[in-house]
Amino acid sequence: MPVLSIIIPVYNEKDTILQILKKINQVDFSNLNFEKEIILIDDKSTDGTRELIKNLEDSYTVLFNEKNSGKSSSLRRGIEAATGDWIIIQDADLEYDPADIYKLLELALRENAQVVYGSRTLNKDNQKRRYSGMVFAIGGLFVTWVTNLLYNTKITDEPTCYKLFKTDLLKSLPLKCQRFEFCPEVTARVAKKKIKIHELPINYYPRHKNEGKKINWRDGVEAIWTLIKYRFKK
């Protein structure tokens, strides 16, 4: 039976990690004839998360970074460890609904797609929910606009967490990202290969910085630079 690898980078998420794992485990992929593999990568958490997930090693693949290396570095390690036929990224907080993963995989199989992004923008209900600040919302739209301008793509939500890839494609990409630049780099490399990025509306429940949100405006600047760099890099 084919396997979906769900990669979860973790850093100081002791209040949400068990909740998100429960939500993931509630998603039944058997109708798609898929099993799931869950990979947790702790990036040297300091709030007790590390100790908490040590108790989960019998149920999941759990990896521990020896030093805080950045989210993208953890993702690369998870991608290397993945054994499934497909890979999707899942944040350790509660901003994204794991029930949407089923829909993304279903679309990928139906359309024979290699890449599917979950778009927060396409779901108009998300606009009715509270945002963690207009800076993040506007920043995401701007990063998406720059992506489409540079790579002639037509996507609506480049910085989305929910990115689903055929494993052999994702493992073939020579990713160099360390911090939060996984999204722009992987998008740039896929777009340069002229691979279509399919999209599907997803739910989004944003949290505020005081609730643990870690990304900031500097990461938006880094995303733009990453997109420009890989557009003109041979």
Provide CB contacts within 8 A for 216, sequence distance 6+. Answer: 209
Which helix H or strand E contains 39, and what residues bound it? strand 35-42
Q: What percent of the chain has pLDDT over 90?
A: 82
- pLDDT at residue 210, as a whole number: 53
Tell me the pLDDT tens digit for each residue of 39-97: 999 999 999 999 999 999 999 999 999 999 999 999 999 999 999 999 999 999 999 99
Residue 146 sits in a domain whose CATH number is: 3.90.550.10
Say if residue 100's pLDDT is above 80.
yes
Which of 10-24, 26-40, 89-103, 122-136 has the weakest average pLDDT? 122-136
Is residue 8 over pLDDT 80? yes
d(CA 217, CA 135): 8
Choose between 216 and 40: higher pLDDT.
40
* 144, 155 Cβ separation under 8 angstroms: yes
Q: What is the mean pLDDT of residues 177-189?
A: 95
Q: What's the pLDDT score for residue 118?
A: 98
Question: Number of structural domains, the chain?
Answer: 1
**Pairing between β-strand 3-10 and β-strand 35-42 as defined by DSSP bridges:** parallel
Mapped onto helix, strand or coil, the DSSP state of residue 79 is: helix
CA-to-CA distance for 48 and 10, rounded, in angstroms?
Answer: 11
Residue 97: which domain range? 3-232
pLDDT of residue 212: 47
